Structure 1
Amino acid sequence: MVAAIVEEREITETNRIVGVIDFDRISEVSGEISGLITEQRAIEGEVVQQGEPLVTLNTDLLLKDMDIKRREHAQVNADLEKTSRTVKRLEKLLKNNSASRQAYDDARFDYRALQQKSETLEQELQRLTLQIEKSTVRAPFTGIVLEKLKEQGEWLAPGTPVCRLASTDGVIVKVAISENLVRYQQPGQQVTLTISALNQQLLGEVAGFVPELDLRSKSALLKIALPYQPGMLQNMSVVAEVSSSEKRLLRLVPRDALVRLKGKDFVYTVKENRAKLLPIDIVARTTDTLGVAESPVTAGMVVIVDGNDRLRPDQGVTVIKR
């Protein structure tokens, strides 16, 4: 049999309260331009990275407009070069009184007008380039697709959502607790969380409260931040070990030492090389220990953590300490 030593430390008592997984940051991702959806890449339940494409719009008309503007810009630049030469030639002739001031001014005004037109066409080309870039709707942050709202072949108008995206950096557990327990919850305080559906036990941190108390139940909604794990679903049940007292001195028994018989909690210790079954009163839980108060378990006591499921009271044992 493998045994461990019971430690003693100041920790808070906890209550086991069921909460649900939620996402603190959910966005209805929308497009900025209109167009026909040619590709829908958002898949419900899948995680997408920031910047990854969700939806692609048809850009055939934009590309055609850009080709036309490029040709216009090239023509204007050619006229601009020709007019520039005319201005320089008339400037020389004007100095020799071989050209009129009117002809020189007209050429100079034509040159300025062509400059303005060239700049306008450049801006229009930049605008078309930007529209083509925005024809791909991208994920604004890394998250999981909760719902797909548009399909391939549908028309997308500006501001119309294409999907609901939940940030994987904003996963929280919402737990309704009595207002009497609010004072024991401190920001950053660690909370042990058990997700039975995923067979996982995680550590979360108190992130705060929803700033509104339920009028009927007088309960507050505690928010506990936790790291995203594959398989997490919105509204999935989570058991949270919520602090319910100030810190007090408790005996800490390894979780592996727990033995449940007829709905009650026990641990095996060793006395004179025989297994002794002791009842325990669990008042706190961490990820790997159980806080025990007012029981025959004492600090420094040896408890069996491996093989205890096969033991019987007063059975002879050989102990290996862990």
Structure 2
Amino acid sequence: MKHFIFAVVFLALIAAVPVSGQEQGEPAKVVTVLVREEMVAENALVTGTLHYDTVGKLSAEVSGLVNSIAFNEGDKVNRGDVMVRLNTDFIDKDIELVRIRIRHVGVRMENVEKDLERTRKLFKESSASEKAYDDLRYALRELSIEKEALSKELDTAKLKKAKSVVVAPFDGIVLEKTVGVGDWLAPGAVFCRLGVLDDLCVKVPVSEELVKFTRRGEHLDVDLVAQERTVQGVVTGVLPVADLRTKNVTVKIKLPRIEGAVENMSALVRIPTSKPKKLPLVPRGSVVNFQGKQMVFTIKEGKSAPVPVRVLSYEGAYAAVEGPGVVDGMTVIVDGAERLRPGQPVEVIRREGA
């Protein structure tokens, strides 16, 4: 029945378009290719959303007033680039104060050491008590511990000062900025979202009945509508949670690095809707729209002959089609088909794949 309908449409088109004498007398130069059959799955075009798969939420480890900001939304940054500088006036004062306390302890230690040396000599001569000698030894030990604690305190203050300069943890692009100069930044408060440039993905909602046809590791064409370009992605998996309302399941497709990629931009993906089966493959350029119908042109008795087809899927530069008589080894016109009319004489100047 399906082939009968195709045949009727085919005959109607030929009858509807008369061929002029000029077209009959002047053969059109064309390039042909042979149809080949391969195992291909039918697919459907589904709209997905582009995401940066790894996004860092940057925050400071110490609190402070924001002195300067070295980034804006959309900026690309490298690992180690300064993002934010916090005011360190109070930290600088703490560092200075601790250093003074360390010097003070050092003076006290010198004094106790001298007293201890004198008492040691007197103790040997039995002119000083053992308690006096022990008291000085323990006092020196206490001062030593106090100096060590102050050194640790100084290290902590220096570390706080170092942490007051927040740098990018990896190469990325700034997706969101949530801080301004003069703002108070608390520890753990996110001031920036940073996306990894080389970790892009498209998330596509797919009907739960069709998920079974998508395989991990499968390569799929992804059309970035806004950029008018097509890239190839790899299926990395299916998120294990279905949408509560629609019951759609999200398929995740990893993309290569794309300049000018924008988070949440649209992407069209051809998702498999059947198991692979043997289908005729023709070059995309051989499928033309003729009077509102999809056609391929073949050659019969030296003249163009349109054959109505239905595109079932796209596989790179090829389209998997079905139509009356479209079988493995059939000749179709790939270059020049868009200029042809039914019954127009043609001259084959090259046979590709022959």
TM-score range, shorter chain: 0.7 to 0.9
**Is the contact between residue 280 and residue 296 of structure 1 (CA under 8 Å) also seen in structure 2?**
no
Instruction: Name the counterpart of 1:131.
Output: 160
Instruction: Name the counterpart of 1:315.
Output: 346
CA distance in 2 between counterparts of 1:6 and 1:85 reads 102
Instruction: Name the counterpart of 2:85.
Output: 56
Residues paired across the two proteins, number: 322
What amino acid does structure 2 have at the position aligned with 1:30?
Answer: S
1:236 aligns with 2:265: yes
Per the TM alignment, residue 50 of structure 1 is displaced from its structure 2 partner at its CA by: 3.6
1:110 aligns with 2:129: no
Per the TM alignment, residue 307 of structure 1 is displaced from its structure 2 partner at its CA by: 4.3
Give me the CA root mean square deviation.
Answer: 2.7
Per the TM alignment, residue 108 of structure 1 is displaced from its structure 2 partner at its CA by: 1.0
CA distance in 1 between counterparts of 2:300 and 2:77 reads 57
**Is the contact between residue 201 and residue 287 of structure 1 (CA under 8 Å) also seen in structure 2?**
no
Partner SS for 2:159: helix
CA distance in 1 between counterparts of 2:234 and 2:88 reads 46
Largest Rg, 1 or 2? 2
Instruction: Name the counterpart of 2:21.
Output: none
Counterpart of 2:203 (choices 146, 171, 174) is: 174
Per the TM alignment, residue 99 of structure 1 is displaced from its structure 2 partner at its CA by: 3.5
Partner SS for 2:142: helix
- The answer to which of 228-237 and 206-215 deviates more is 206-215
Per the TM alignment, residue 89 of structure 1 is displaced from its structure 2 partner at its CA by: 5.1
Pair 1:74–1:320, CA change in 2 (3 A): farther
Query: Unpaired runs of 5+ in structure 1?
Result: none
What amino acid does structure 2 have at the position aligned with 1:317?
Answer: V
What amino acid does structure 2 have at the position aligned with 1:126?
Answer: D
**Is the contact between residue 24 and residue 172 of structure 1 (CA under 8 Å) also seen in structure 2?**
yes
Partner SS for 2:242: coil
Moved over 6 A (4+): none
- The answer to which of 236-245 and 144-153 deviates more is 144-153
Alignment of 1:208-287 (within 5 A): 208-270=237-299, 275-287=304-316
Instruction: Name the counterpart of 2:194.
Output: 165
**Is the contact between residue 221 and residue 270 of structure 2 (CA under 8 Å) also seen in structure 1?**
yes
Instruction: Name the counterpart of 2:14.
Output: none
**Is the contact between residue 191 and residue 241 of structure 1 (CA under 8 Å) also seen in structure 2?**
yes
Query: Percent identity, aligned pairs only?
Result: 37
- The answer to which of 114-123 and 254-263 deviates more is 254-263
Pair 1:215–1:84, CA change in 2 (3 A): same
1:206 aligns with 2:245: no
Pair 1:89–1:320, CA change in 2 (3 A): farther
What amino acid does structure 2 have at the position aligned with 1:18?
Answer: T
- The answer to which of 249-258 and 233-242 deviates more is 249-258
CA distance in 2 between counterparts of 1:256 and 1:90 reads 104
Pair 1:125–1:274, CA change in 2 (3 A): farther
What amino acid does structure 2 have at the position aligned with 1:34?
Answer: S
